[in-house]
Amino acid sequence: GQNIDQPTEMTATEGAIVQINCTYQTSGFNGLFWYQQHAGEAPTFLSYNVLDGLEEKGRFSSFLSRSKGYSYLLLKELQMKDSASYLCAARRSNDYKLSFGAGTTVTVRA
């Protein structure tokens, strides 16, 4: 099975940086996804890591360490519109199923 842990809530100031950590325990790990979900809306894909290292996409970056079962999502130059829930999800090898964490609610304050 898979056990996905991430913090419940984080608060940061506009323009700052926030790092959301995610740890996972899975058999046959084959990739880590991050999704963003605004209240009342669909989750939208942010990033996918399957190899160790950092993937950068504009203001958002995602990091993976397979040996440590650890990932983080880094949000830079925070904007009010970044207030949302961020979902970490792990995928098993040879499987199409994603196991999700409970999500981290990020609140950006002026």
For other proteins, the binding residues (CB under 8 A) are: 4, 8, 33, 35, 40-45, 48, 87, 89, 96-103
Alpha carbon distance, N-terminus to C-terminus of the chain: 41
Q: Are 35 and 87 in contact (CB under 8 A)?
A: yes
- Nearer to other proteins by Cβ, of 14 and 41: the residue is 41
- Nearer to other proteins by Cβ, of 40 and 67: the residue is 40
Provide the 3-class DSSP secondary structure of residue 78: coil
Shortest distance, CB of residue 59 to other proteins, whole angstroms? 20
Shortest distance, CB of residue 102 to other proteins, whole angstroms? 5
